[in-house]
Homo-oligomer: A and B are copies of this chain.
């Protein structure tokens, strides 16, 4: 920098440089620079020949970066300067015209917005693929009985397909959040200059259109200070990672010898360095483990933005590693979850055996009493008494002799035993959204429709 009389201290260069991580933005930087060059040509800063030269030079730089042949230099403090430096080597002083009517502040914000927009779309695609897998696995297990849990205690039996669809709907909401992040990244910062706007009457609408933005940012100060779109992506990724962590957690628990509900494919498990018999559900554990890191990326950027005066401050450089880390983690997590699910084998017998626990029908007995006129709260009490009797004698509910039923309630008769006979409990769940087969079929249909709509939008 000409106004300085000393070069940067090596330690300062180290803390200041972002090239180690922001080089990932090169495609966006090239794309943005080409669009900016076209804008400069439109207002006469460069002529058509110069434009062609710049574009061709930028394409050559892109080729070098893409091919891994780009020679980074020690004082390339960030990818933007590295590209401009190389461009100028290739096209001469003309390269120095490219930064007319542009500041690194609006350039960096634009590159990151383009990146977030693209990764949001990609995350949405991966979410849709995982939704597709969940739907397929749910359909294949639509009539497999399993215990439903609350408080990790057996509560009422459900179909495995119904349980898996719960994740489908979580992910459908994730898709919506990634779409919101993409929309938030739809305002183009470019053309805002350092903070105040520029001395040039740029056609920002046109450049925005060329770059796939929805519109130019309305306020130049906000444009260079704003990282809401990055927060929106980090938030979408945090919730999505949290959903995956719940799935991972369940697969870990279900894979234990005690549950024995499922077993990961050998391709998605690992052994022990000391115990030859072990087969560990590492992928499920890692799905579970990675949510805190993604949430911490969100916390980082919220923390950086906290109390930060306008407009651009160097602190904003901390946005990138948080976003990049989330992108890598969530994209890998979504892909891995899809593959892991594809290879998961469920054990129908063990699921069914666990689902057959007669205690799970206690609510159905209470509802029987309700149908005979007893207020539910009272019926709950009567059945609680039956449960206690069974527990004290270590017998099942259906082993309570008929002769004793009246002692609990005069409304109880042989239908009590019918209700307890396995098989009707799931189908008795008539309410919309419940696990009963007609309702589950409705839900599968709704899921197919929702997924088709999602795939249609993304197309």
Smallest CB-CB separation from A45: which chain B residue? B370
Q: For residues 354 through 401 of chain A, which have their beta carbon under 8 Å from a beta carbon of chain B? A: 354, 357, 359-360, 362-367, 370, 375-378, 380-388, 391
Q: Which of B5, B152, B167, B381 contacts A2 (CB 8 A)?
A: B381
| In the complex, A245 has a CB within 8 A of chain B | yes
Query: Please, how many angstroms separate the alpha-carbon atoms of A201 and B255 in the complex?
Result: 34
Query: Please, how many angstroms separate the alpha-carbon atoms of A333 and B228 in the complex?
Result: 19
Query: Please, how many angstroms separate the alpha-carbon atoms of A266 and B391 in the complex?
Result: 13
Are B281 and A151 in touch, CB under 8 angstroms?
Answer: yes
Query: Please, how many angstroms separate the alpha-carbon atoms of A260 and B180 in the complex?
Result: 40
> Given A220-B431, A277-B362, A443-B218: A7 and B267 within 8 A (CB)?
yes
Are B307 and A291 in touch, CB under 8 angstroms?
Answer: yes
Are A307 and B249 in touch, CB under 8 angstroms?
Answer: yes
Copies in the complex: 4
- Name which of A58-66, A113-121, A311-319 contacts chain B: A311-319
| In the complex, A434 has a CB within 8 A of chain B | yes
Residues from chain B with Cβ under 8 Å of A366 in the complex? 274, 276
| In the complex, A409 has a CB within 8 A of chain B | no
Residues from chain B with Cβ under 8 Å of A285 in the complex? 151, 313-315
Q: For residues 130 through 189 of chain A, which have their beta carbon under 8 Å from a beta carbon of chain B? A: 147-158, 162-163, 165-170, 173, 177, 180, 184
Are B295 and A303 in touch, CB under 8 angstroms?
Answer: yes
Residues from chain B with Cβ under 8 Å of A300 in the complex? 292-293, 295-296
* Closest 9 pairs (CB-CB, A-B): A197-B434, A292-B303, A2-B384, A96-B377, A96-B375, A289-B315, A1-B271, A197-B429, A285-B314
Are B150 and A312 in touch, CB under 8 angstroms?
Answer: yes
A1-30 interface code vs B (CB 8 A; 1 in, 0 out): 111111111011011100000000000000
| In the complex, A51 has a CB within 8 A of chain B | no
Q: A interface, by DSSP: helix, strand, loop or mixed? A: helix
Query: Please, how many angstroms separate the alpha-carbon atoms of A226 and B376 in the complex?
Result: 26
> Given A276-B366, A303-B303, A315-B289: A434 and B220 within 8 A (CB)?
yes
Give 24 A-B contacts (CB < 8 Å), ordered by A residue.
Answer: A2-B388, A3-B271, A3-B388, A11-B339, A12-B283, A80-B273, A84-B377, A96-B378, A102-B274, A107-B273, A150-B194, A151-B282, A169-B218, A169-B219, A170-B222, A177-B232, A218-B446, A218-B447, A231-B239, A276-B380, A277-B387, A286-B314, A290-B318, A292-B306
> Given A12-B267, A289-B318: A204 and B432 within 8 A (CB)?
yes
Query: Please, how many angstroms separate the alpha-carbon atoms of A377 and B79 in the complex?
Result: 17
Are A391 and B3 in touch, CB under 8 angstroms?
Answer: yes
Residues from chain B with Cβ under 8 Å of A315 in the complex? 285-286, 288-289
| In the complex, A199 has a CB within 8 A of chain B | yes
Query: Please, how many angstroms separate the alpha-carbon atoms of A252 and B249 in the complex?
Result: 13
Are A245 and B306 in touch, CB under 8 angstroms?
Answer: yes
| In the complex, A196 has a CB within 8 A of chain B | yes
| In the complex, A265 has a CB within 8 A of chain B | yes
Are A275 and B362 in touch, CB under 8 angstroms?
Answer: yes
Give min CB distance, A135 to chain B, whole Å. Answer: 12
Q: Which of B84, B153, B426, B439 contacts A278 (CB 8 A)?
A: B153
